[in-house]
Amino acid sequence: MKVYFYTLGCRVNQYETDAVRKLCENSGMTSVDLPEEADVVVINTCSVTGEADRKSRQQIRHMRKVNPKAIICAMGCQVEAAEGKVEADIILGTRDKKLLPDRINEFCNSEEYITRTTTGFCMHKRPEVSKEDVYQEFGTVQSPEGTRAFVKIEDGCNNFCTYCIIPYTRGRVVSREEENVVKEVMELASEGFAEVVLTGIHLCSYGKDRGEGTEALLRLLQKINAIDGIERIRLGSLEPMSLTPEFIAGLKSINKLCPHFHLSLQSGSDTVLKRMNRKYNSSEYEARVNALREVYPDMSLTTDVICGFPGETEEEFNETYEFVNRLKFSKLHVFPYSVREGTVAAKMEQVPKSISKARTAVLNDFSSKAEDEFARRFVGRKVRVLVEANRSAEAEKLSGDSGVFYTGYTEEYVKVVIKFKDEAEAKKYVGRVIEGNLIEFLTLYAIEEF
């Protein structure tokens, strides 16, 4: 049985795809790189916005067209949001993904499958998706990247922002057992992974379902920090109000923690933040950033911004622009607001899409300049770079008879290229952290010597 996987959405979704891929392979199935080659096509859906929801439905239809004979499986958030009413042969909710191998085998032995293979038509059996808020343990999940591994430690969200459907599709906060996280990281270290990225739907809520605050995340970080072989720890998206003085002081003791922080913003306008039901205002956000910069003066600060949120005026957008400019973000992830049915914001007065698109373009331009400006701060300085297993498109173009280029990232997540004599030399350094002076190189940044 050959299986093809397609993933939409966040890093948590990608982690779960990698996990169920391994489960399928352990049950005797083979992963393939093209949907045309597959007996089963699995689409891990996303429903974070109306656009993501649309793309998920589109991919399901597209895969059916590309490979009419394949068993189509849809799993994840869009399935939950649609309450299982999805045009797929097999459906799995966000809490059911680990059941995929069993569901595939059950379907292949069902009368429904026999009908489908003889007539080309499936009745689309729609069992109810699970609603129980219990962490689904996948064990150790190896990232295809080969050098950096994502480790999921939490699922669900309790915040109920007015634009977001996730608390309904992912459920409430559930935390992974600490010993299971530590075990996974130890196994990843033994496999040669030098960097781990802790991820979750609402990372700072780790332990909240057990009555704990951010001390639970700090305790976990301290244990990971002590694992031999792990040289870097990164954190996924953090909520700004979780950055208390005590939490920041605790982070300072984690010497393997990379000074790269992604603090969710969404808007720099207090009136927009209030309509979003975010749990902070711009002044509180800025105070957290300033406190963090006292400990990490050269840190990379990235964030998410939504443009054209319902009712957003030109003045409110300008407040956001001025805010991100003042805080000196190193990169923005900018999204035009997309109506998500079932949320409070969907019932609000909508901003024309043309305006949302124009505002998104303005902030994307700002982000490109900010990213380059941040990288230039390190030119002439010694930086530490983790050499990646997979070369980027830029590295491929640069490689030639005079040498080969591989890509890596500094601790602050500045992307650089490293020149090696040949492939044999380069492979010796893949997965290792090297030091060198950063120089400007064409339109990129490079290590001069290491």
Span 109-135, pLDDT tens digits: 886 665 555 444 443 444 454 556 788
> Is the Cβ–Cβ distance between 108 and 116 less than 8 Å?
no
Average predicted confidence (pLDDT) for the chain = 91
Q: How confident is the model at residue 445, as a pLDDT?
A: 85
Q: How confident is the model at residue 132, as a pLDDT?
A: 66
Q: How confident is the model at residue 399, as a pLDDT?
A: 84
> Is the Cβ–Cβ distance between 210 and 220 less than 8 Å?
no
Q: Assess whether pLDDT exceeds 90 at residue 219.
A: yes
Q: How confident is the model at residue 152, as a pLDDT?
A: 97
Q: What is the pLDDT of residues 40-74, one digit of tens each?
A: 999 999 998 888 999 999 999 999 999 999 999 99
The structure tokens listed for 405 are 């280029």
CA 339 to chain centroid: 21
Tracing tokens 């039901």 back to the chain, one arrives at 277
- Sign, CA torsion 250/251/252/256: positive
**What is the DSSP code (8-state) at residue 277?**
T
Q: Assess whether pLDDT exceeds 50 at residue 364.
A: yes
Cα gap 266→330, rounded to integer Å:
16
Work out whether strand 382-387 and strand 433-441 pair parallel, antiparallel, or are unpaired. antiparallel
Q: How confident is the model at residue 398, as a pLDDT?
A: 85
Lowest mean pLDDT among 87-91, 109-113, 260-264, 283-287: 109-113
Q: Rounded mean pLDDT of 28-36?
A: 95
Q: Is the pTM of this model over 0.85?
A: yes
Work out whether strand 30-31 and strand 40-45 pair parallel, antiparallel, or are unpaired. unpaired
Q: How confident is the model at residue 116, as a pLDDT?
A: 57
> Is the Cβ–Cβ distance between 429 and 422 less than 8 Å?
no
Alpha-carbon Rg for the chain, nearest whole angstrom, is: 23
Q: What is the pLDDT of residues 384-440, one digit of tens each?
A: 999 998 777 888 888 887 889 999 999 999 999 999 998 899 999 999 999 999 998
The structure tokens listed for 68 are 């009419």
Query: CA 371 → CA 72, 105, 134, 149, 153, distances in Å?
Result: 40, 48, 39, 24, 29
Residue 410, SS3 per DSSP: strand
Q: How confident is the model at residue 400, as a pLDDT?
A: 81
Q: Check residues 146 and 212 and name the one with the higher pLDDT.
A: 212
Q: How confident is the model at residue 401, as a pLDDT?
A: 73
* Residues shown for the chain: 450
Q: Assess whether pLDDT exceeds 80 at residue 236.
A: yes
Q: How confident is the model at residue 119, as a pLDDT?
A: 44
State which H helix or E strand residue 72 sits in.
Answer: strand 71-76
